[in-house]
Structure 1
Amino acid sequence: MNTIMNQLMEDFHMPLENPVLIFSLILFIILLAPVLLNRIRIPSIIGLIVAGIIIGPAGLNILEKSLFVDVFSTIGLLYIMFIAGLELDLNEFKATRNKSLVFGLLTFSIPLTLGFPICHYILGFDFNASLLTSSMFATHTLVTYPIVSKLGVSKNAAVAITVGGTILTDTAVLIMLAVILGAHDGGLTSEFWIRLGISLVLFSAFMFVVIPKIAKWFFRKLESERHSHYIFVLSVVFFSAFLAELAGLESIIGAFVAGLALNKLIPHSSALMNRIEFIGNSLFIPFFLISVGMLVDISVIFSGPMALIIAGTLTVVAITGKWLAAFFTQIIFKFSKGQRKLIFGLSSAHAAATLAVILVGYKAGILNDNILNGTVVLILVTCIIASFATESAAKEIIRNSGDDDLPQLKALSQRETILIPIANLINIDKVLDFAVLIKEKKSKNPLYILTVVPNTNEAEITMVKAKQGLESYIMETTASDTNAKIMATIDHNAASGISRTAKEVMADIILLGWPQKTGFLDKIIGDKMESILENTEKTLFIGGFEMPLVNHKRLFMIVPPNAEFEEGFPIWVHKIAKLSLELSIPIHVHCNDETHKALLKFAKESKLTLTLNYHEFIDWEDFLILSKDISDSDFIILVSARRGYISHFGQLDRIPAKLEKHFPNLSKMVIYPQ
């Protein structure tokens, strides 16, 4: 009995040292803190930070900063920056890069300009201490990014600008830190600048040239080993963070750049992206937030009036500088009030980069204890304010955008049903990947995967075998948080079974795979397809995927005249825009001027992100003239029409056969709008 008691006393000695007990405690906090605080409408991020304060060295001293805690908190911080780079809409980022530059300059210069005279002339710090402390005001950490990601507004232009500005200002501050330290140590030489410049160039070249090529090769060679994809991604993230440190930057910059490098290869709705977000949001990021709380020492407030004055001044200056930067950004770019609040919420939290600057300055003897303690209080206050501001702004943006949605698209997103008839298992994984990418996440209806069994004496046995053959493919859709349901039906004719089932499930879209190794004209525009086209009114997608979707560089679209007058026009435009957004690739559309204007008008009215490159095309008699513009990495998409409809004409029926004959190794799709 005494042995057991002694063992318990040893295990529960404060601070805890047993790694199993430490990990259990952290997991219980991650589980319970958000649940309890959500009941009183406090963001979960604040709950985790407050929990960190309570169990930290300055609280109940249950847990101390150790290698174990540091490793997990570092992983969490890198995860936040990596996901920010991964979820960034690159098309939007490219379109707003100048705006990101302007915001980066504002969020860097305003806090610096505001902070230096206050630190130097009011608080009485010397020149180096004033410059370093005011540069700390310019930094910010995307602590509240998980709120943006969770609420689904990560694609908003304000987010792209803020993330771009974050990387610019943090990079500038960290380079400035190196310069100040160099000046303090007397080591600011030409050799320092040359080494920094060369290392930055080499790092950028490796990340944006070498890493994407390695990733493409890896995903292609081990396409079936989906679990190894996650391990590969983690390896890239942490190796990139290490390379950034070698280049003289902070590891957070490397993690963010890794996200940018892999952005186009990991679609937002993919199973891999779901694994990345799930593990990060469930474990690593909460660990980081708890570790931020563990840094806070509330007792500094009671250590004397000077500590309180410095802490209060630093906090007010930091918040004011970030608010002014967000305000001027709103004025310059005519953003909404919600977008201004979102920019402020994302950019006002001070944590990792701030702490890095202050700790380095403190260890170098440039900064004193009061500044260090004041910064820790600043971290707590700004994280709390940023959490409330970000959540409020994100919800405001959702409310405002939701009111303006087109009624038909809003209704579609809530009840959308996609039917996927499967004739054989060749390329079924790519067909399902495509379906997952274009499916509306708001729709509660599953993907219906259908197999039609001939009506014979062995029909029931064949149905069971067909369902079993499809079961393994359901796992990938489940991994991407997309529900799928296997259906099997008995019918004398496959086309009849598909048509009947489409009516039973009230399908909006029917997605078919491209026939294998046979003439398109014989197989698709033959009896089977003719029957489906005649007996269903819904939008029909027929896709042949010759390479993984993420390997495509652009969508090569061909749209006939009058396509904008078809009832299914909004549906297929919405889906192609979503595909372009998920894959972060542009759309090169070939059509006449009227259709192009209709596309732009529809995108504007429905607030779609549509990255269009327009090429006028009217010579349908000489369709193959387009072949000179098609490259090996293109995804060819032809919008066709059912016979008798307004956009149908004779040449359309012959084009699918030409696509198969002249582009057998390219991914292609034919769309028949409802």
Structure 2
Amino acid sequence: MDIIVDQLIEEFQLPLHNPVLIFSLILFIILLAPLVLHRIRIPGIIGLIVSGIIIGPAGLNILEKSLFVDVFSTIGLLYIMFIAGLELDLNEFKANRNKSLLFGFLTFAIPISIGFPVCYYVLGFDFNASLLTSSMFATHTLVTYPIVSKLGLSKNLAVAVTVGGTILTDTAVLVLLAVILGSHNGGLTFDFWLRLGISLVLFSAFMFLVIPRIAKWFFRKLESEKHSHYIFVLSVVFFSAFLAELAGLESIIGAFVAGLALNKLIPHSSALMNRIGFIGNSLFIPFFLISVGMIVDVSVILSGPMALIIAGTLTFVAIFGKWMAAWITQIIFKFSKGQRKLIFGLSSAHAAATLAVILVGYKAGILDANILNGTVILILVTCVIASFATESAAKMIIRNVDDEESLHLSYRAHKENILIPIANLVNIDKVLDFAVLIKEKKSTNPLSILTVVPNTSEAEKTIIKAKEGLENYINEATASDTNATIMATIDFNAASGIARTAKEIMADIILLGWPQKTGFLDKLIGDKMESILQNTEKTLFICDFEIPLVNHKKLILIIPPNAEFEEGFAIWLHKIAKLSIELSVPIDLHSTEPTHDAILKFAKDNKVTLNLNYAHFNDWDQFMKLTEHIGDTDIVILVSSRRGYISHFSQLDRIPQRLERSFPSMSKMIIYPQ
């Protein structure tokens, strides 16, 4: 026993040296840091860098910089730059190339023009350090692009211009990096410029003329060997990085160019792209972000005012430079205030390319620890500011769009598809009754009743048993002239099975039963309902009917501000209006005036008769007062919103639990619009 204890003590001596234990620790951090920080709305990239600071030599000294860490860190750095080149939309760039080129020039030149004098004269850096640091201000990473995509503005001209400008500014910064390193190592002689010019020409010719032809041949010859495709792509990335070093460039330039060279051969929605993103985002890139945190020395930041002054100055200059570029772009192209704010939000986040440039400069001895630490703080601040700015700008643009057709039903009624996942048979009859009432009679698709069974050796028997249990309810649905079908799928996780099936059958609406009570661990790592919300974008009804539907006397409809701007507004409103008509019950509406006006416009445009009683409501801190006059035969219908969407605000996330605690035996429904 003593031997085992002594061995454990030896293995856990700090810093850790056992590669298996080190790898296990890194994986646990990659797993848990984003999950925990997601709960408090902190971007995962920040959590991983902070984790690296904590476990690094300057933190708790759990890990030290080693060859093992350096190898994975280098792979992650190259992977980031490769994906940056691969994900750029070259077609979008071509369509708006003149505007993108001008914005790319502005967002490159303005931050450098502001940053260089500040670094050289104010902060007292030498010439190379000033130029390299100011070039870092010119980079940007499209960290907030998913926000724009989620809100349906990815086709907006301001977005296209910003995305296109990313190609120019990041490429220019990487070429400038090569020049600065050349100057640092031997001076900008004629031989240097000649070698750099020839190297760039030969390297570009090989990457853009030879590599795509080899890749096409390889993908065609080994079409069925899907795993080989990924290995081939990975080989190209690292070989390109090696060739870039031979050419006197940085390896990150080679990885970035490899992404551009393979861009057209790897569609963004392909299985290969999914594998590239999955493995990179799951392992290599998080490893790199943790290693960046390990380099940070907190004691340097806390050692005196100079470190904080440098960090504050770098952050201010980075934000101001990007704002100026966005403002001048707005003036030149006559963009709206919302579009200017959107350009700033998309282009102000510093992450991947910034880390790459600063890390290379730090390792080359051009930059010191103060600049590295200040850059990490800059990344933390700009990612947060960019997130808020992008979301605010996107909502501003949506509000200002005057689209007269926006309140018409946007999907074809004869193709409507409703998915009903069943976890247990409790109250399934009431959920099916609700589905039958709201289903479009013109739709040729049956109601799809889904059961997800665990992937075990008993899976087939479980499917048969589940189907047999649902047969009686199918008969009841058929009796009402509504077709229904039973579906079964095997998955380790019920939520992923539901999300996958919803995509496979292209469901318009998903009906779910009320979630069961969850424990602390479920709340920490995300329960089934939250997982479904994150992985599906369709209209979601979460239902809890305590009495038969026909016994209800009133619908209490509570809607948040800006709900009329959500894409699925017309869909769920049409279903609630249909339910009101089918049950012959009135709707008591609680919302703001603009939402009320939008509902009346919807009714007029779609020739829907609404039995509506309206009361103004916008005090969500006093939400529970609305429920004081609700009877046992009423249905409370709360229209909520997914996080990040235009009508979402923090109180909405807490109301379902408050409803459950206060009215466990009352009929209620929560709607998450498409």
Is TM more than 0.5 here? yes
**33 and 183 in structure 1: CA distance in 2 versus 1, 3 angstrom threshold:** closer
Tell me what 2:19 maps to.
19
For residue 153 of structure 1, report the CA deviation from its aligned partner: 6.8
1:235 aligns with 2:227: no
For residue 307 of structure 1, report the CA deviation from its aligned partner: 2.1
Counterpart of 1:165, as a letter, is G
**Secondary structure of the equivalent of 2:42?**
coil
For residue 303 of structure 1, report the CA deviation from its aligned partner: 0.7
TM-score by length of 1: 0.56
Q: Is the 8 A contact 1:87 1:154 kept in 2?
A: no
Q: Is the 8 A contact 1:298 1:377 kept in 2?
A: no
Between the aligned partners of 2:236 and 2:79, the Cα distance in structure 1 is 12
Tell me what 2:40 maps to.
40
Between the aligned partners of 2:21 and 2:401, the Cα distance in structure 1 is 46
Between the aligned partners of 1:42 and 1:391, the Cα distance in structure 2 is 15
Tell me what 1:194 maps to.
194
For residue 25 of structure 1, report the CA deviation from its aligned partner: 1.8
Q: 1:599-624: CA deviations, max 9, x gaps?
A: xxxxxxxxxxxxxxxxxxxxxxxxxx
Tell me what 2:221 maps to.
221
Between the aligned partners of 1:386 and 1:347, the Cα distance in structure 2 is 8
Between the aligned partners of 2:127 and 2:146, the Cα distance in structure 1 is 37
Tell me what 1:80 maps to.
80
**65 and 393 in structure 1: CA distance in 2 versus 1, 3 angstrom threshold:** farther
Between the aligned partners of 1:35 and 1:223, the Cα distance in structure 2 is 37
Between the aligned partners of 1:280 and 1:399, the Cα distance in structure 2 is 36
**Secondary structure of the equivalent of 1:249?**
coil
Q: For 1:155-234, what aligned pairs fall within 5 Å after superposition? A: 158=158, 160-184=160-184, 187-234=187-234
Tell me what 1:331 maps to.
331
27-36 or 180-189, which deviates more:
180-189
Counterpart of 2:28, as a letter, is F
Unmatched 5+ stretches in structure 1? 418-443, 447-470, 472-477, 488-504, 507-674
Q: 1:567-592: CA deviations, max 9, x gaps?
A: xxxxxxxxxxxxxxxxxxxxxxxxxx
1:108 aligns with 2:108: yes
Count of residues in Structure 1 that have an aligned counterpart in Structure 2 = 433
Tell me what 1:92 maps to.
92
Q: 1:43-84: CA deviations, max 9, x gaps?
A: 333222322222222222222333333333333333333333
Q: Is the 8 A contact 1:101 1:165 kept in 2?
A: yes
Q: Is the 8 A contact 1:49 1:292 kept in 2?
A: yes
**248 and 381 in structure 1: CA distance in 2 versus 1, 3 angstrom threshold:** farther
Tell me what 1:664 maps to.
none
Between the aligned partners of 2:61 and 2:20, the Cα distance in structure 1 is 17
Q: For 1:63-78, what aligned pairs fall within 5 Å after superposition? A: 63-78=63-78
Tell me what 1:246 maps to.
246
Tell me what 1:374 maps to.
374
For residue 116 of structure 1, report the CA deviation from its aligned partner: 2.2
1:10 aligns with 2:7: no
**27 and 403 in structure 1: CA distance in 2 versus 1, 3 angstrom threshold:** farther
Counterpart of 1:40, as a letter, is I
Q: Is the 8 A contact 2:301 2:370 kept in 1?
A: no
Q: Is the 8 A contact 2:252 2:356 kept in 1?
A: no
**Secondary structure of the equivalent of 2:101?**
helix
Counterpart of 1:284, as a letter, is F
Q: Is the 8 A contact 2:76 2:288 kept in 1?
A: yes
Counterpart of 2:54, as a letter, is I
Q: CA RMSD in A?
A: 4.0
Q: Is the 8 A contact 2:178 2:249 kept in 1?
A: no
**361 and 43 in structure 1: CA distance in 2 versus 1, 3 angstrom threshold:** closer
Q: For 1:85-484, what aligned pairs fall within 5 Å after superposition? A: 85-142=85-142, 158=158, 160-184=160-184, 187-335=187-335, 339-351=339-351, 353-355=353-355, 357-358=357-358, 361=361, 367-389=367-389, 410-411=410-411, 483=501
304-313 or 294-303, which deviates more:
294-303
TM-score by length of 2: 0.56
Counterpart of 2:95, as a letter, is A
**Secondary structure of the equivalent of 1:411?**
coil
Tell me what 1:437 maps to.
none
**366 and 30 in structure 1: CA distance in 2 versus 1, 3 angstrom threshold:** closer
Tell me what 1:563 maps to.
none
**Secondary structure of the equivalent of 1:79?**
helix
Between the aligned partners of 2:117 and 2:414, the Cα distance in structure 1 is 55
Tell me what 2:565 maps to.
none
Counterpart of 1:137, as a letter, is F
Counterpart of 1:8, as a letter, is L
1:28 aligns with 2:28: yes
Between the aligned partners of 2:116 and 2:504, the Cα distance in structure 1 is 65
Counterpart of 1:119, as a letter, is C
**356 and 115 in structure 1: CA distance in 2 versus 1, 3 angstrom threshold:** same
**133 and 411 in structure 1: CA distance in 2 versus 1, 3 angstrom threshold:** same
**369 and 262 in structure 1: CA distance in 2 versus 1, 3 angstrom threshold:** closer
Between the aligned partners of 2:70 and 2:349, the Cα distance in structure 1 is 20
Between the aligned partners of 1:445 and 1:212, the Cα distance in structure 2 is 44
Between the aligned partners of 2:414 and 2:81, the Cα distance in structure 1 is 32
Between the aligned partners of 1:290 and 1:20, the Cα distance in structure 2 is 17
